[in-house]
Amino acid sequence: MIRFENVTKRYRGTKRPALAGVDFEVERGEFVFLVGASGSGKSTCLRLILREDVPTTGRVAVLGRDLRTLANRKVPYFRRHIGSVFQDFRLLSSKTVFQNVAFTLQVTGASRGFIHQAVPEALALVGLDGKEKRMPHELSGGEQQRVAIARALVNRPQVLLADEPTGNLDPGTSVDIMQLLARINAGGTTVVMATHEAGFVDQMQRRVIELRDGEMVRDDVHGGYGDRSSIPQLVPEAARGAAAVAALTAVQEVHRQTESLEPLTAEMLASMKAARASQPDSQATSQQEAPATEQRPTAVGPRTHPIVLPEVDVAELGVADRLGLSDTRNDEEVGPTS
């Protein structure tokens, strides 16, 4: 699904390559952590997967496509098969939650009917049903990241790339987001996540690829974080310990529920909501949470109140390229998808 063959990336004007001789293959449905100190090459890997950049030497193949030979005009269509989530959420501040998620579909020419079905489904998946009309500034950090995840998923991508998705969140909210990513992966989406969150990596025991100065120094099928000396210590040790315990409980629960790797069903969505409802503190740091009396509806399906989609100004979206939205002409399939 994603293959790096002896990939070296040297940025212009730099002495040391950002990546040197990196070789790995990610299979469909895997959850892979990319770890390593700042500057070790994690973001460069993600950029190469998204074809934001090309290797200096070596080959990157994604979804059956050799990205070296992928024509520039096909890149936006290729990117529609890959969802991206970032540390800083990158939502459109002037648009509602619904509009932020709808935007991806709207620009790619999806029908109004499809948008009104797919957006509520994506928001339900991330536990945000009922918040369609909120503006981003009315949401907590964790909720904003959920909107970003819904936006990344609404196209039903085969791969989700997450670059430090919990980097701006408090430990409790980070656990929520990790649970969500684990569930998305359990539904069949391949997830590649660059992170410094050693606690999550240790508890999840998923595949770990470690980079050091651009070289791949480890590829463990069920790995831990490894050397923690380079982890930025922005949170006191005690809080990190608490987060790790919470992460263990949460992630073990996800493992129990998803061992069979079934696709997400309405029942699973309902149980996600129930699990979230039983963690009242998980959004405790929310600055502008909904009133306690506001209950999220449990039904998954199109909403009945009218939601107005705005005219879209593509230039307004700084991440248009990354979302595969920079060219709206003639959609094309990327394939074969392996």
195 makes contact with ligand ADP (CB under 6 A): no
Min dist. Cβ of residue 43 to ligand ADP (A):
3
Backbone CA torsion sign across 302, 331, 97, 272: positive
What is the C-alpha separation between 130 and 216, in angstroms, rounded?
Answer: 44
Determine the longest span between alpha carbons in the chain, in angstroms: 58
- The stretch near ligand ADP (CB under 6 A) out of 20-28, 39-47, 108-116, 217-225 is 39-47
Task: Collapse the DSSP code of 283 into the 3-class scheme (helix H, G, I; strand E, B; otherwise coil) and give the result.
Answer: coil
Min dist. Cβ of residue 77 to ligand ADP (A):
25
Using the minimum distance from each CB to ligand ADP, give the nearer residue, 57 or 338: 57
Using the minimum distance from each CB to ligand ADP, give the nearer residue, 46 or 147: 46
312 makes contact with ligand ADP (CB under 6 A): no
Q: Which one-letter DSSP state was computed for residue 160?
A: E
Cα–Cα separations (whole angstroms), residue 55 to 10, 27, 82: 8, 21, 19
> Which residues, 44 to 83, sit near ligand ADP by CB under 6 A?
44
41 makes contact with ligand ADP (CB under 6 A): yes
Of 21, 28, 30, 43, which lies in the binding site for ligand ADP, with binding defined by CB under 6 A?
Answer: 43
Cα angle 44-50-56, degrees, rounded to a multiple of 5: 50
Decide: 32 and 191 in contact? Cβ < 8 Å.
Answer: yes
Using the minimum distance from each CB to ligand ADP, give the nearer residue, 34 or 186: 34
Cα–Cα separations (whole angstroms), residue 245 to 225, 238, 242: 15, 11, 5
120 makes contact with ligand ADP (CB under 6 A): no
- The stretch near ligand ADP (CB under 6 A) out of 34-42, 198-206, 253-261, 317-325 is 34-42
14 makes contact with ligand ADP (CB under 6 A): yes
84 makes contact with ligand ADP (CB under 6 A): no
Angle between helices 171-186 and 141-153 (to 10 degrees): 20
Decide: 243 and 233 in contact? Cβ < 8 Å.
Answer: no
Of 3, 42, 131, 146, which lies in the binding site for ligand ADP, with binding defined by CB under 6 A?
Answer: 42
Backbone CA torsion sign across 206, 88, 125, 325: negative
Using the minimum distance from each CB to ligand ADP, give the nearer residue, 132 or 210: 210
Q: Which residues bind ligand ADP (CB under 6 A)?
A: 11, 14, 18, 36, 38-44
